[in-house]
Amino acid sequence: MANRENTKADPGNFFEDFHVGQEIIHPTPRTLTRGDVALYTALYGSRFAVQSSDAFAQRIGFKAAPVDDLLVFHVVFGKTVPDISLNAVANLGYADCRFGEPVFPGDTLSARSRVIGLKENSNARTGVVYVRTTGVNQDGRMVVEYVRWVMINKRRPSSPAPEPVIPDLPEAVAAADLMTPAGLDPGSYDRQLAGSAHVWDDYQPGEKIDHVGGMTVEEAEHMMAAHLYQNTARVHFDQHAARDSRFGRRIVYGGHVISIARALSFNGLANAFKVAAINGGRHVAPVFAGDTVYAWTEVLAVAEPAGPSDQISDQISGMGALRLRTVAAKDQPCGDFPGRDGDGKFDPSVVLELDYWVLLPRRT
Amino acid sequence: MANRENTKADPGNFFEDFHVGQEIIHPTPRTLTRGDVALYTALYGSRFAVQSSDAFAQRIGFKAAPVDDLLVFHVVFGKTVPDISLNAVANLGYADCRFGEPVFPGDTLSARSRVIGLKENSNARTGVVYVRTTGVNQDGRMVVEYVRWVMINKRRPSSPAPEPVIPDLPEAVAAADLMTPAGLDPGSYDRQLAGSAHVWDDYQPGEKIDHVGGMTVEEAEHMMAAHLYQNTARVHFDQHAARDSRFGRRIVYGGHVISIARALSFNGLANAFKVAAINGGRHVAPVFAGDTVYAWTEVLAVAEPAGPSDQISDQISGMGALRLRTVAAKDQPCGDFPGRDGDGKFDPSVVLELDYWVLLPRRT
Amino acid sequence: MANRENTKADPGNFFEDFHVGQEIIHPTPRTLTRGDVALYTALYGSRFAVQSSDAFAQRIGFKAAPVDDLLVFHVVFGKTVPDISLNAVANLGYADCRFGEPVFPGDTLSARSRVIGLKENSNARTGVVYVRTTGVNQDGRMVVEYVRWVMINKRRPSSPAPEPVIPDLPEAVAAADLMTPAGLDPGSYDRQLAGSAHVWDDYQPGEKIDHVGGMTVEEAEHMMAAHLYQNTARVHFDQHAARDSRFGRRIVYGGHVISIARALSFNGLANAFKVAAINGGRHVAPVFAGDTVYAWTEVLAVAEPAGPSDQISDQISGMGALRLRTVAAKDQPCGDFPGRDGDGKFDPSVVLELDYWVLLPRRT
């Protein structure tokens, strides 16, 4: 409540501070290292062979084990929080997220966003801001880009409403727009070492997979994760402030739940080593420390990706794409595939629904 | 209970799935990095100078600080869990564990196991499986090998029992079979920097050492440890499932307790920088978050190691071996050396008894 | 209480074991790596661009992102604990702390201390020991040096008191003694990427900054921090022993609180990327797991540093120094700047008062 105009601390942007077309350079470039990779393993126990082993990754054409796509996403996302969502009431959604150039230890990531939509809410106290964020490496190559929209407080209810602009967002990234790492030779992919005989050809639309395992979340873990991503959202870290909030507790960063679900999905999708795109994500309910997260996946579609020619290797025939819907539930094993009922209402255990594309080897 | 035969998630092997002579290639090769080493330090506070300092390690002939032997063990062990012990009722024991080629950051480890024994239990519902596991680096050199035996559920009580085969296991690794890293020059070992004046010559069989310190275990720590090792055993991670188990709580990975005891043992064994072999280990009682672990050690024997000639440096005369028995207790300082009573019954505080060989410099 | 003279475990030094002029070589040299840096980020979420990004650091003349100054301090401090403060009753203070050569991943740190003062307390049961500790890199270059004094138990009250010697300590490090990294070119410093437009010229003595954010401390985090620093002080790790102590709980390492306050201070001091000196520090009250730490800062003075000529770049005109007083409070947001009242008595929420110098770019 104090007047902070005399101080140098950043109060974050309010709805009035955004305009369509605005470009925001986000602070704190970040070199990702093998240290970050080790922490990511310690936080989720991820077991995809390509990200786990330099030797395995090199055998199929990478220069080293690439950094997990979701770690890249979280780091880029974290950069946007101080500028975009410090005064957010709610993260409403993601769309049109594509992963580009692979990231290796030693690469430095930075991020910028462009405001592509604005709409004040009818209560005149909040509005929705749409941004397209692009993460790039030290050479300026895109590593991930995505749209997200958040509900943000206005500084003053009396501020005039801007002209509403709502961007046209695709329901899903087209398979033809998925980017496959250049130079891969999936023919050398060792399924036995990777942990599963099942490749792209073995999955069918409509197939459901229970990932069986469960992972209980601890306060220290989700805070270390969010700190690793330099995410500054107060709700994850400040129990004193949370005490008087709606939930009375710190809220686990939604991306932490996505990474847990992805790590659990290894059991059933061990060869789906690369996330190529996220079509949409919905944090159906908050997760708190002490909750145990389970997950299951439905195969929505199968496709052959074909990205821009300079991104595509000529061995592309050796890779296939699956469009997946992964659902995470808390304190509810997923053998019965908890999801939506006939009216589209979620089972009370559901915390996350994620629609995304993965790449995996196909039989040649 | 659900029939998982239609899904791609791995239900793990049951007793019927093993046969003597079977070779299992375990998934997920793993490149160990300085990130893993930093996490190991953060989890246990280990202070052995050789593993802590590149400069110190190089002075005695290593190319860099080698990775802690127990971190190597845990990573290799972790790989075997999905294939060997996902349906285990109990880990019954280890034997004949030898460490081989030193591991350095950047090395990639993988693991394979051979089934060397099987015995169905009289209840016809479980059986004991004996496996010899070998961890190798990217050049195929052995980094650690060991035998362990686990009690595993049968899929169906009606399955016929296999011919019982019980392997002949040594009570301890012979001193002559211990492997000393090649090219070491212990003459340059700086005891002052390492933290103790006591070398091999100063220890006597029968000597007991209280390591004084205590370390309280937290859920976040033991889960991050087990995740770092890509250990997937459900009992460590799933509080929802644990609620209805015998203990009602997640169980700390036994290897986490071994690493705690080893880190505590620095106080009294600061120059015992290398674990050369584990003769046997027994997790006498489970450890849970909130327990404080203490440890003490008895010197069982002193010996000069003499490994296979290609593994042995000609400065071998500068190293000696101690056979140790380290006992860890919970919520019980070890000034009185809690152990077994006259009937061989353990003090109720004891959680671990580990019989192993360490190497340390000797006076020249 | 047991007579430990027959064992090899180190009971730590008592007051009688120190004499003025004594030199102590501390054990366990430590190579700092990108793994340690990643853990530091995960523990505090630090966002200073120079330490976060190799690319950013290289643009202003560093060979890579330097290791955070406080991580260097904690590692050097940790080495001194087994020799200096294992039997400490209280850490009484720090003074005259200067940071020297920047530390980069791969550097190996070691530490030595010289006893510069002794004074027995009137109760004849404890005394105060003053040490000057120097941390050096593998080339013997000073990376940090500081004086601290601790109250230490005597082994026996009957031991004769030494001649009291109380060192003459500066109230603050002189601006002229601050060391600026050689070869820096702050002209290439990108304030937008660093997260703030405010440089040295924008700060005024007397100015107060509320850093707004709050960080809740967890047991697993502060123990992993202290373990990372190889700090062995029992009060941080042993809940069984703590149960019967004055507080009944483990005490968070004071340096952990300093690092939290420093990370929070980014919001308002984003360009103050280097801690050059610590003039004094006071842990006003202990911090326990569950506490939420907030912080605010007062600018005490502005100055141009001018260190020894071989340490100073000729672009030194591009850097300025601020002397800051940062106060951390628990469970109390700092919008009202809780500090001392008219009588010098601290607000009950205050846990830390730190007086230090930082460097930041100035307008050229």
- Interface residue of B33, B36, B37, B41 to substitute, partner C, most C CBs within 10 Å: B41
Q: Which tens digits make up the pLDDT trace of C118-137?
A: 999 999 999 999 999 999 99
Per-residue pLDDT, C306: 57
Distance from CA of A223 to the nearest CA of C (A): 8
User: A100-131, pLDDT tens digit by residue?
Assistant: 999 999 999 999 999 999 999 999 999 999 99
Contact C314, C181 (CB under 8 A): no
Give the pLDDT band (50/70/90) at residue C184: confident
The pLDDT, as a whole number, for residue B364 is 62
pLDDT at C4 over 80: no
C-alpha angle A79-A81-A85 in degrees, rounded to nearest 5: 155
What is the number of CB-based contacts under 8 A between chain B and chain C? 150
Whether B354 maps to a domain, the answer reads yes
Q: How far is C5 from chain B (nearest CA, A)?
A: 11
The reply to whether residue C29 touches residue B56, judged by beta carbons under 8 angstroms, is: yes
- Does A305 lie in the same domain as A208? yes
pLDDT of residue A303: 93
So what's the pLDDT on residue C316? 37
List CB contacts (< 8 A) between B135 and chain A.
none
Q: Quick check: C216 and A219 CB within 8 A?
A: yes
State the Cα–Cα distance between residues B267 and B209, nearest whole angstrom.
9
CATH number at residue B27: 3.10.129.10
Query: Which residue of C50, C104, C267 to mutate against A (max A Cβ within 10 Å)?
Result: C267
Residue of A4, A6, A8, A13 to mutate, interface with C, max C Cβ within 10 Å: A8
User: Degrees (nearest 5) of the Cα angle C52, C56, C61?
Assistant: 120
pLDDT at A203 over 60: yes
Would you place residue B151 in the very low, low, confident or very high pLDDT band (cuts 50, 70, 90)?
very high
C-alpha to C-alpha distances, A58 to A61, B26, B143, nearest whole angstrom: 5, 19, 22
Of B28, B35, B220, the CB nearest to A38: B35
Contact A218/C214, CB-based, under 8 Å? no
Residues C285 and C320 in one domain: yes
C46 in any annotated domain: no
Nearest CB neighbour to A232, from listed C194, C209, C213: C213
Q: Is B232 helix (H, G, I), strand (E, B) or coil?
A: coil
**CB-based burial of residue C286 (10 Å sphere; 0-12 exposed, 13-18 middle, 19+ buried)?**
middle
Euclidean distance between CA atoms A338 and A331, whole angstroms:
12
Q: What is the pLDDT of residue A7?
A: 74
Please answer yes or no on whether A239 and C216 come within 8 Å at the CB atom.
yes
Q: Are A21 and A149 within one domain?
A: yes
| CA–CA distances in Å: residue B330 to residues A348, B216, B253, B351, C198 | 40, 9, 15, 7, 53
Neighbours, chain B (3 or more CB pairs < 8 A): A, C
Residue given tokens 């070992």 in the structure block: B189
CB–CB of C226/C233 below 8 Å? yes
Q: What would the pLDDT profile of A139-156 be if each residue is shown by its tens digit?
A: 999 999 999 999 999 999
Considering only CB atoms, B53 lies closest to which of C11, C108, C218, namely: C108
Domains of chain B: total = 2
Chain B contact probe: residue of A32, A53, A256 with most B CBs at under 10 A: A53
- Residue A4 in any domain: the answer is no
Q: What is the mean pLDDT of chain A?
A: 93
Could you tell me if residue B308 is inside a domain? yes
Q: Are residues C144 and C188 in the same domain?
A: no
Q: Of C169, C185, C207, which one is at a domain's C-terminal end?
A: C169
Q: Do B96 and B154 share a structural domain? A: yes
Check: CB of residue A33 under 8 Å from CB of residue B37.
Answer: no
Q: What is the pLDDT of residues C285-327, one digit of tens each?
A: 999 999 999 999 999 999 986 544 344 443 435 889 999 999 9
User: What's the whole-number mean pLDDT along residues B258-286?
Assistant: 97
- Put simply, the answer to whether C267 touches A225 (Cβ < 8 Å) is no
Q: Give the C-alpha separation, A248 to A245, whole Å.
A: 5
Assess whether pLDDT exceeds 60 at residue B315.
no
Q: Assess whether pLDDT exceeds 90 at residue C282.
A: yes
Nearest to B215 among C31, C105, C238 (CB): C238
At residue B198, the pLDDT reads 94
In chain A, whose CA is at the least distance from the CA of B80? Answer: A195
The answer, yes or no, to whether residue A297 has pLDDT greater than 50, is yes
**Cα–Cα–Cα angle for C102, B40, C12, nearest 5°?**
75
Quick check: is A48 in a domain?
Answer: no
Does the pTM of the predicted model rise above 0.80?
Answer: yes
Chain C residues lying within 8 Å of B335, measured CB to CB = 1-2
Which residues on adjacent β-strands are paired with residue B321?
B303, B359
**Separation of alpha carbons C271 and C361, rounded Å:** 7
CA distance linking residue B253 with residue B251, whole number of Å: 6
pLDDT over threshold 50, residue A138: yes
**A88 and A216 assigned to the same domain:** no
- State the average pLDDT over residues B76-86: 95
Chain B residues with beta carbon closer than 8 angstroms to that of A216: 219, 223, 237-240, 250
Residues in chain A within 8 Å Cβ distance of B110: 53, 193
> Do A182 and A140 share a domain, yes or no?
no
Give the H/E segment covering residue B226: helix B219-228
Pair C288, C363 in one domain: yes
Q: What is the per-residue pLDDT for B187?
A: 84
Asked if C240 lies within 8 A of B36 by C-beta distance, the reply is no
Q: Phi first, then psi: what are they for C146, rounded to 5°?
A: -165, 160
Q: End of a domain among B169, B197, B224?
A: B169
- Using the beta-carbon criterion (under 8 Å), do C28 and B193 form an inter-chain contact? yes
- A330 in the same domain as A233: yes
Cα three-residue angle A12-A14-A16, rounded to 5 degrees: 140
Does residue C49 belong to any structural domain of this protein?
Answer: no
Sequence-separated (6 or more) residues with CB below 8 Å from residue A200: A271, A302, A319, A320, A321, A322, A360, A361, A362, A363
Nearest to C34 among A33, A226, A238 (CB): A33
Task: Give the pLDDT score at B10.
Answer: 86
Cα–Cα distance measured from residue C40 to residue C228, given in angstroms and rounded to the nearest whole number: 9
Smallest Cβ distance to B43: which of C82, C224, C250? C224
A1 pLDDT exceeds 60?
A: no
Q: What angle do CA A229, A230, A235 make, to 5 degrees?
A: 100
Pair A121, A229 in one domain? no
Residue C88 has a pLDDT of 85
Q: Average pLDDT of A289-311?
A: 82
| Residue A230 Cα distances to A30, A70, A82, A234, angstroms | 9, 14, 10, 12
> Nearest residue on chain B to C241, judged by CA atoms?
B214
**A213 & A318 share domain:** yes
C35: nearest CB among B37, B48, B54: B37
Q: Residue C47 falls within a domain, yes or no?
A: no
Name the residue range of residue B306's domain.
175-364
Distance CA C284, CA C351 (A): 5
Same domain, B203 and B165: no
Given a contact cutoff of 8 angstroms between Cβ atoms, the answer to whether A14 and A155 are in contact is yes
Q: Averaged over A164-193, what is the pLDDT? A: 92
Calpha distance B294→C332 (Å, rounded):
37
| Domain closes at, from C169, C184, C208 | C169
Cβ(B87)–Cβ(B54) under 8 Å?
Answer: no
Å between A188 CA and nearest CA of chain B: 15
Backbone dihedral angles phi then psi of residue B356, each to the nearest 5 degrees: -155, 165
